[in-house]
Chains A and B, each alone.
Chain A
Amino acid sequence: MDIVLTFFGRFHPLLVHLPIGFILMGLLFECYKKKIQPAATVLKFIFFWASVSSLLSIVSGIFQFLQEGYIWGNIQGHFIAGVATFVLTLGFYLFLKGNVFALRIPRLFYTLGLFISLMITGHLGGNITHGDNHLTEPLEALVGINNKSEVRFLNVDDYSRQKVYSGLIEPILSKKCVRCHNPKKAKGQLQMHTYAALQKGGKNGIILDFNSPESSEILNRIHLPEFEKKHMPPRAQKQLTQAEKDIINYWVLKGAPEFKTLGELGFNEIQLNSFMVQENEEVYPSIELDLPDKKTIDSLQSMGILITPVKQNSNLLFLSTINYKAFSDNDLGLLASLNKHIVSIDLSDSNVTDAVFTSLSKFSNLVSIKLNRTAISGQGIDQLSKLDNLKKIHLINTNLKSEAIHIISGFKPLIKAFVFQFNRDLRSEISLSPEILVRFDFGNYLLEDLPSDTVVY
Chain B
Amino acid sequence: MNDIEKKLLNEYVLNQASINSRRHFLKDCTLGLGGIAFGSLLKSCAPSGSPNLFGGERTLNPLAPLSPPKLPKVKNVIYLHMVGAPSQLEMFDYKPELHKLHDQLCPESLLKGKKFAFIQGVPKMLGPQAKFTQAGASGNWISDNLPHFKKVIDDVAFLKAVNTDQFNHGPAQLLMHTGSARFGRPSLGSWATYGLGSENQNLPGFVVLTSGGTPDAGKSVWGSGFLPSVYQGIQCRSKGDPVLYIKDPKGVSRNLKRELLSSINEINYQEFKAQEDPEILTRINQYEMAYRMQITVPEVMDIENEPESVQKMYGVTPGKESFANNCLLARKMVSSGVRFVQLYDWGWDSHGDSPANAVDLGLRNKCKEIDRPITALLLDLKQRGLLDETLVVWGAEFGRTPMQENREGRDMGYKGRDHHGDAFTMWMAGGGIKKGVVHGQTDDIGYTAVEGKVSVHDINATILHLLGFDHEEFTYDFQGRPFRLTDVEGNIIREILS
Interface residues of A (CB under 8 A from B): 226, 241-243, 269-270, 273-274, 278, 280-281, 283-284, 291-292, 294, 297, 301, 304, 306-314, 320, 322-323, 370, 372, 392, 394, 396, 418, 420, 422-423, 441-447, 450, 452-453, 455-457
Contacts and interface: CB of A to CB of B under 8 A. Distances in A.
B154 interface: no
Contact of B365 (A226, A280, A313, A457): A457
Contacts of A445: 313, 379-380, 382-383
Contact of B372 (A307, A312, A447, A457): A447
B199 interface: yes
Interface in B378-424: 379-380, 382-385, 388
B71 A310 contact: yes
**Which of the listed residues B71, B148, B380 has the most CB atoms from chain A within 10 Å of its own CB?**
B71
A278 B70 contact: yes
Nearest to A291: B53
B37 to A, nearest CB: 16
Contacts of B200: 322-323
29 contacts: A226-B488, A242-B488, A242-B491, A269-B494, A280-B70, A280-B71, A281-B71, A306-B199, A307-B54, A311-B71, A311-B72, A312-B49, A322-B199, A322-B337, A323-B200, A392-B388, A418-B385, A420-B383, A422-B307, A441-B382, A443-B382, A444-B383, A445-B313, A445-B382, A450-B148, A453-B368, A453-B372, A455-B368, A457-B364
A29 to B, nearest CB: 24
A242 B49 contact: no
Contact of A418 (B144, B148, B384): B384
A425 B362 CA distance: 39
Given A280-B71, A309-B67, A311-B468, A447 B151 contact: yes
B492 A308 contact: no
A442 to B, nearest CB: 8
Interface of B: 49-51, 53-55, 65-73, 144, 147-148, 151, 199-202, 307, 309, 313, 336-337, 360-362, 364-365, 368, 372, 375-376, 379-380, 382-385, 388, 468, 472, 488-492, 494-495
SS class, residues of chain A in contact with chain B: loop
A232 to B, nearest CB: 15
Contacts of A423: 307
B146 to A, nearest CB: 10
B51 A312 contact: yes
Contacts of A241: 472
Contact of A311 (B70, B360, B382): B70
Contacts of B54: 297, 301, 307-309
B384 A443 contact: yes
Contacts of A453: 368, 372
A453 to B, nearest CB: 7
B385 A394 contact: yes
Nearest to A298: B53
Contact of A446 (B65, B309, B388, B490): B309
Contacts of A284: 71
Q: Identify the 9 closest CB pairs spanning chains A and B, nearest first.
A: A443-B383, A418-B385, A445-B379, A312-B49, A457-B361, A457-B364, A420-B383, A270-B494, A309-B67
B299 to A, nearest CB: 12
A242 B382 contact: no
B202 A323 contact: yes
B494 A311 contact: no
Nearest to B472: A241
B384 A308 contact: no
B385 A292 contact: no
Given A323-B201, A372-B384, A445-B313, 10 more contacts: A241-B472, A242-B472, A278-B70, A281-B71, A314-B71, A441-B382, A443-B382, A444-B383, A445-B380, A450-B147
A455 B72 CA distance: 43
A314 B368 CA distance: 46
A292 B51 CA distance: 12
A452 B367 CA distance: 12
Contacts of A422: 307
Contact of B148 (A281, A297, A447, A457): A447
A309 B67 CA distance: 6
Contact of A310 (B51, B67, B337, B388): B67
A428 B11 CA distance: 74
Contact of A396 (B202, B384, B491): B384
A270 B490 CA distance: 14
A310 B376 CA distance: 30
Contacts of A283: 71
A109 to B, nearest CB: 35
Nearest to A282: B71
Contacts of A242: 472, 488-491
Given A312-B49, A394-B385, A273 B468 contact: no
